[in-house]
Amino acid sequence: MLKTIGDRILTTIPALIGVVLVSFLLTRVLPGDTAAYFAGPAATPQAIAEVKAKLGLDKPLPEQFAKYVVDLAHGDLGQSLTTGQPVLADLTSRLPASAELTLFGLILSLVIAIPLGVVAAVRQGSAVDHICRVVVTAGVSLPVFFTGLILVYVFYFILQWSPAPLGRIDVFATTPPTVTGFYLIDSLVVGDYEAFRSALSQMLLPGVTLAIFSLAPIARITRASMISALSAEFTRTAKASGLSPRRVIVTYALRNALLPVVTTLGMVFSFLLGANVLVEKVFAWPGVGSYAVEALIASDFAPVQGFVLAMAIIYVVLNLLIDLAYGVIDPRVRMSS
Amino acid sequence: MSAVQLLDVRDLTVEFATRRGVVQAVRKVDLSVGKGETIGVVGESGSGKSVTSYAVMRILDRAGRVAGGSVSFSGLDLLTASEADMRDLRGREMSMIFQNPRAALNPIRGVGRQIEDVLRQHAQAGSDDARRKAIEALTQVRIARPEERYNAYPFELSGGMCQRVVIALALACQPRLLIADEPTTGLDVTTQKAVMDLIVDLTRERGMSTILITHDLGLAAAYCDRVIVMEKGEVVESALSSTIFGNPSHAYTRKLMRATPRPGITLRDLLPEGEATPLPPPVPAGEALLSVEGLVKEYPRQGASRFMAKLFRKDVADAAPFRAVDGLSFEVRRGESVGLVGESGCGKSTTSTIVMRLLDPTAGRILFGGQDIGAIPARDFARHPLRAKIQMVFQDPTDSLNPRHTAGRAIADPILRLGGLRGGRTVRTRCEDLATLVGLPTDLLDRFPHQLSGGQKARVGIARAIALDPDLVILDEPTAALDVSVQAIVLNLLADLKAKLGMSYLFVSHDLHVVRLLCDRVIVMKTGQIVEQGSAADVIDTPRHAYTRELVAAIPHPPTS
Amino acid sequence: MSAPAAADGAPSGQQRPKGRFAETLSHARHIIGENPVTGLSFALFALLLLCAVFGPLLSPYDPLASDTVAALKPPSAHHWFGTDQLGRDILSRVLVATRLDMLIAILSVALVFFAGGLAGVAGVAAGFFGGWTDRIVGRVSDTIMAFPLFVLAMGIVAALGNTVTNIVITTAIINFPLYTRIVRAEANVRRNAGYVLAARLTGNSDTRIALTTILPNILPIMVVQMSLTMGYAILNAAGLSFIGLGVRPPAAEWGIMVAEGSAFIVSGEWWIALFPGLALMLAVFCFNLVGDGLRDIVDPLRRT
């Protein structure tokens, strides 16, 4: 078991190498004057030359790559021109906001999508099945930024149930002290229920936006794999042995059906980390996504590259976790070594 | 027939809603099973035999529906019983075992736990004794080291072992009726015998009634008191097993019975009466056409994790490679038909693939007409002049035809590629000749595979294989996917073609009866080696090696007429 | 248990042999008859194409002409979809934008269809004996897939520069692994099929088998995937322009128009973002339904 985990961790190495290589290529090799990008739009020719020397862009490519990797190993992702801070510091301070929002959206959609998919599969052709089909088809067709805007218009402008879409917490509420960086958890830790309420009401709309977005793929795969598990031969054996419907559906069908769902989570995370950028822009959420977008608008290149690399590394780690979770559920994977 | 009926099915009709409208899969079927009686339900694919049993258990899938008739189980009307009552009966009073045992078990739950599920559902065990009773159930189906197996997952067990678990599951609550749906199809012949013996022993011991559903008339007659024959959803005959072979009353039963390979007959006896022409005279075997010397095929044992382990720890020893074929030597003479027999995993398919030159051997020589074709890489052999001289008929006729090509195009392919014939007219004429030769109506040449029946597809596959007048044709279980009546026709066709065209056959099979009918000599393989070879009659009638004796003994012996 | 199998030698009488194409056509008719939504989606697809071709002719106003007097007007008889902050007619802009959005989607998907299909088939041809093409294609796909796709798209466009061409290339790049994976998986399933072995026995070279035996069998699946990823391509392009990458104002493009309208949502001017957003949604919806419909048509499992 431990060996399997070790082996799986080793297999992420090629992926990480690929990620670092691509992010290096994006910085150095593509057409256009990289130094000019890094120096910013208003830089003088001298400034550009300075940046070029400082970044070592006058050196041969392999040497540049070696320096890039060494810098990375030291956590050096460059300097942001807009904030004047090291990119790594900017990213780490903003990451909890993004992580809290993404996880909130994901959990929300899992809680809705899995039961929906299961019921739709068990009662094929029922009203729930039709609802599921509508959710799945509509969900994949909705641009996530558009969903966000509609929610803002309905719940903020018309109904006024929701606070203005500006950040993580009401400007008048006190920000909870940093424990985990997740406001919902930190405010509960210190018992500040006012802050908790405020943070929750700010998070609800962007969270729901992300949830609507990720609902579709999860519900779709749950329904499909549940249908195939329900028509599998082992389910027929369970039925022919007189097991109760609950046992047949949960212990026999659902546990097997969850395997493809876990696999799909990788794809869902890929979509979510991208959608997060758009949602953060719509709701002025102070996370890494809006940080990257602001840098893009200011033609500040280092933060964008840092953001892409950070997201890729997080995604590789998430995929690793998903695979390990899969091994826990499926004995065939667990024991294959 | 026993006076007390446990199960009584009257006028049962089952309908399926399909895209082409409602189809009656089962029509007015009568069937009864007495206490302690074992009956066999026999029929070819599409005869409705499985559907009948699903209807009895009320586990038909969504599209199916009982349209009429009655089913009573010891006085209880099963068709009107509530679903809760049915659930209580299933597994406790009547249970079922299925074809493909590995798929019939939950792949991610320990087999012991699956037996416990059934025991606890029917209140045969509580939380304190469930484990003990599950192990007991495993012991009863003669599984060695049941405590260990209790924790095993289905993928860790062999097919035969899985079927034992399924039997343990079905018998755990001591039901009165067991329905076994093709319980041994897909299992090796020795495993098949062990499983059938186990089922019979356990059900006799407990005075249970059994319904055995099978396509194999021989199997049913060997193990059952009474046999019911179904054709196209209807019961055509019901008779005692002791008399059905001697005195079949229905024409279909006679056809089925004749088509079942058995000792002491010739190929022509498989065909319906009056259709048989005399067998072509045996061809005297000529000089050696193929001679295989010291053939070895090894596969390295390794996974992705081994590579990584080696990368980081130098001390990982190289495991000995797995030898699929281990020093094989044999000969096929001109005009001869040689059977290559063995159970799954014995290396017979690997051997035929290497001889076919689709796979490279690790060591050894393959002399074909004196030339060592084993030295030519499989990759280059596709364009080699000898390619045309060794051809093959595949196991699954459906899988071996490109779904996007017509039958005619499939037959024309070797002619165009290797035959050197040009011009649409010439090729077409040759295709039509070949079709006629294999008994395929020429108007079917423009059809796609999905528009042909199983037997027709088999004929297309044979026509393609003989299109280039090969010297050697490898037959890889060519009838395994066919119904027995179609098998009879195809086997006879193969024998006729061999006589007419003077080819040699290497016939890969697991079925000794069939080998005996078609082959002059037989080679018995086990774990990559030859255990015995000789003339087909000698090896099968008087086997010398213990393994061959076991194989021969495992073939079901129906009561002979 | 299916319908009884026809006995050997007895041709199933009622089934007249038809050409492959005629059969597919009648099957398509059946699918559309069975599921009117599919028919509707094909009609919608045609409508979108019409708008893309004739959009500029149909639009009542110049999509770029600003009219400060008429700025920020809600939908009315003059301006069915209202006007934006510069007084431009939103209906005209939505119509004209169809061409650009469809062009991005179709071009990028066509690009990846050929690149992905070729790479996949080359991989399969070499893959009979484990070739380097297959390994390179696999490695490239895996590396692309190691990134969250939209994030990678941001990085590439930021590096390549803000042009429509770059959006097309980027969209093709992030769709590439999805294609090669499908091609490779489908080809791998068929690699050991009896008919592929049979083709080798009849003297076909590996390349020939890949092109004449495997490719025609997986082509329908690739076409279905093309339709499904078109929706994703258009969403991706719109998402990029929403955050200011790719198409630049004042060009009419649905994503940019939603971005421009987003500032006015909090003050209640909903129409600026709503109509381009709806157009975008409708297009994606239509591509997905067309993809599902095509899958039903080519899926041999559903064919009798």
CB–CB contact B98 A233 (8 Å):
yes
Q: Look at strands B94-97 and B177-181 and give their pairing.
A: parallel
Whole-number Å distance between alpha carbons of C247 and C250: 9
CB–CB contact C202 B401 (8 Å):
no
CB–CB contact A255 B117 (8 Å):
no
Which tokens go with B102?
């590995």
Whole-number Å distance between alpha carbons of C179 and C159: 24
What pLDDT does residue A218 have? 93
Q: Which chains touch B (3 or more CB pairs under 8 A)?
A: A, C
Q: C5 lies in a domain? A: no
SS3 at position B454: helix
Which tokens go with B329?
């030597």
Q: Look at strands B38-42 and B226-231 and give their pairing.
A: parallel
Residue B312 burial (10 A CB sphere; 0-12, 13-18, 19+): exposed
CA proximity to A208, closest of A101, A114, A133: A101
Which of A10, A241, A246 is best to mutate for the B interface (most B CBs within 10 A)?
Answer: A241
CB neighbours of B157 closer than 8 A, spacing ≥ 6? B102, B111, B149, B165
CB–CB contact A237 B169 (8 Å):
yes
Cα-only R_g, chain C: 24
For domain B297-554, give its CATH number from 3.40.640.10, 3.30.70.1450, 3.40.30.10, 3.40.50.300: 3.40.50.300
* Amino acid of residue B479: T
Helix (H) or strand (E) holding C237: helix C215-242
* Amino acid of residue C32: I
Residue B318 burial (10 A CB sphere; 0-12, 13-18, 19+): exposed
Q: How crowded is residue A207: how many other Cβ atoms within 10 Å of its Cβ?
A: 23
Whole-number Å distance between alpha carbons of B5 and B51: 21
Whole-number Å distance between alpha carbons of A290 and A295: 8
pLDDT band at A41 (very low <50, low <70, confident <90, very high): low
Query: Burial code of B204-219, b = ≥16 C-beta within 10 A, e = fewer?
Result: eeeebbbbbbbbbbbb
A269 contacts in C (CB within 8 Å)?
148
A256 contacts in B (CB within 8 Å)?
106-108
Q: Which residue has the tokens 């559907």?
A: B51
Instruction: Give CA angle at C41 (C37, C43), nearest 5°.
Output: 115
The pLDDT of residue A100 is above 90? yes
C146 contacts in A (CB within 8 Å)?
15-16, 18-19, 312, 315-316, 319
What pLDDT does residue C94 have? 87
Length of chain C: 304
> What is the residue extent of each domain of chain B?
297-554
CB A205 within 8 A of CB A279: no
Q: How crowded is residue A126: how many other Cβ atoms within 10 Å of its Cβ?
A: 12
* CATH class name, domain A87-336: mainly alpha
Q: DSSP secondary structure string, C57-75?
A: HH-SS-TT---GGGTTPPS
Whole-number Å distance between alpha carbons of B332 and B369: 10
Instruction: Give CA angle at C299 (A136, C145), nearest 5°.
Output: 55
Q: Which of A7, A231, A234 comes nearest B106 by C-beta? A: A234
Q: Which residue has the tokens 């339709």?
A: C227
What pLDDT does residue A189 have? 86
**Cα-based distances in Å from B7 to B31, B82, B251:** 8, 18, 28
Task: Give Dmax (Cα) for chain C.
Answer: 82
What pLDDT does residue A170 have? 80
Phi, psi values for residue B368, rounded to 5°: -120, 110
- What parts of chain B have a pLDDT lower than 50? 1-2, 304-308, 310-316, 561
Angle between helices C215-242 and C90-127 (to 10 degrees): 140
Q: How crowded is residue B383: how many other Cβ atoms within 10 Å of its Cβ?
A: 12
**Which residue in chain B has the smallest CA separation from A123?**
B62
Which tokens go with C60?
């009542």
Helix (H) or strand (E) holding B231: strand B226-231
Whole-number Å distance between alpha carbons of C149 and C297: 30
**Cα-based distances in Å from B237 to A10, A128, A318, B38, B42:** 64, 48, 63, 16, 10
What pLDDT does residue B117 have? 93
C244 contacts in A (CB within 8 Å)?
293, 296-297
**Number of alpha carbons in the 13 Å side-chain half-sphere of residue C248:** 7
What pLDDT does residue C19 have? 55
Whole-number Å distance between alpha carbons of B88 and C18: 51
CB B437 within 8 A of CB B355: no
Counting one residue from A and one from B, how many pairs have CB atoms under 8 Å apart? 98
Total domains, chain C: 1
Helices (H), B58-205: 83-89, 111-121, 130-140, 146-150, 159-171, 189-205
Q: What is the 3-state secondary structure (H, E, C) of chain A?
A: CHHHHHHHHHHHHHHHHHHHHHHHHHHHCCCCCHHHHHHCCCCCHHHHHHHHHHHCCCCCHHHHHHHHHHHHHCCCCCECCCCCCEHHHHHHHHHHHHHHHHHHHHHHHHHHHHHHHHHHHHCCCCHHHHHHHHHHHHHHHCCHHHHHHHHHHHHHHHCCCCCCCCCCCCCCCCCCCCCCCCHHHHHHHCCCHHHHHHHHHHHHHHHHHHHHHHHHHHHHHHHHHHHHHHCCHHHHHHHHCCCCHHHHHHHHHHHHHHHHHHHHHHHHHHHHHHHHHHHHHHCCCCCHHHHHHHHHHCCCHHHHHHHHHHHHHHHHHHHHHHHHHHHHHCHHHHCCC
* Amino acid of residue B435: A
Whole-number Å distance between alpha carbons of B44 and B28: 18
Q: For residue B254, is it left (φ>0), alpha (ψ between -120 and 50) or beta?
A: alpha
Query: What pLDDT digit, counting tens, does each position of A186-234 carry?
Result: 888 888 888 888 889 899 999 999 999 999 889 999 999 999 999 899 9
Q: C280 lies in a domain? A: yes
Query: Does the bond joining C250 to the residue before it have cis omega, within 30 degrees of 0?
Result: yes
* Amino acid of residue C262: S
**pLDDT tens, residue order, chain C (304 aa):** 333 333 343 333 334 444 556 666 776 777 666 667 777 888 888 888 888 888 788 777 787 777 778 777 888 888 788 888 887 888 888 888 888 888 888 898 888 888 877 766 666 665 554 566 677 777 888 888 889 999 999 988 888 888 888 889 998 888 888 888 777 777 777 877 888 888 888 888 777 888 888 888 888 878 878 877 888 888 888 899 888 887 877 888 888 888 888 888 888 888 888 999 999 999 998 888 888 778 777 765 444 3
Q: Residue C34: which CATH number?
A: 1.10.3720.10
> How close is the nearest chain A Cα to the Cα of C238, in Å?
8
Q: Which residue has the tokens 């059946």?
A: C30
pTM (2 decimals)?
Answer: 0.84
Instruction: Give CA angle at A161 (A159, A167), nearest 5°.
Output: 120
What pLDDT does residue B343 have? 86
Instruction: Give CA angle at B346 (B340, B349), nearest 5°.
Output: 60
CB neighbours of C299 closer than 8 A, spacing ≥ 6? none
Q: What is the 3-state secondary structure (H, E, C) of C87-136?
A: CCEHHHHHHHHHHHHHHHHHHHHHHHHHHHHHHHHHHHHHHCCCCHHHHH
Residue A258 burial (10 A CB sphere; 0-12, 13-18, 19+): buried
Q: Look at strands B390-393 and B472-476 and give their pairing.
A: parallel
> What is the residue extent of each domain of chain A?
87-336
Q: Which of C8, C129, C193 comes nearest B489 by C-beta? A: C8
Output the CA torsion sign for C82, C85, C91, C94.
negative
Share above pLDDT 70 across residues of chain A, in percent, rounded to a whole number: 93
CB neighbours of C281 closer than 8 A, spacing ≥ 6? A141, A142, A143, A146
Which of C1, C152, C285 is best to mutate for the A interface (most A CBs within 10 A)?
Answer: C152
CB C179 within 8 A of CB C113: yes
**Which residue in chain C has the smallest CA separation from A291?**
C243
End-to-end CA distance of chain B: 21
Query: What pLDDT digit, counting tens, does each position of B183-204 carry?
Result: 988 788 888 889 999 999 999 9
Helix (H) or strand (E) holding C138: helix C132-145
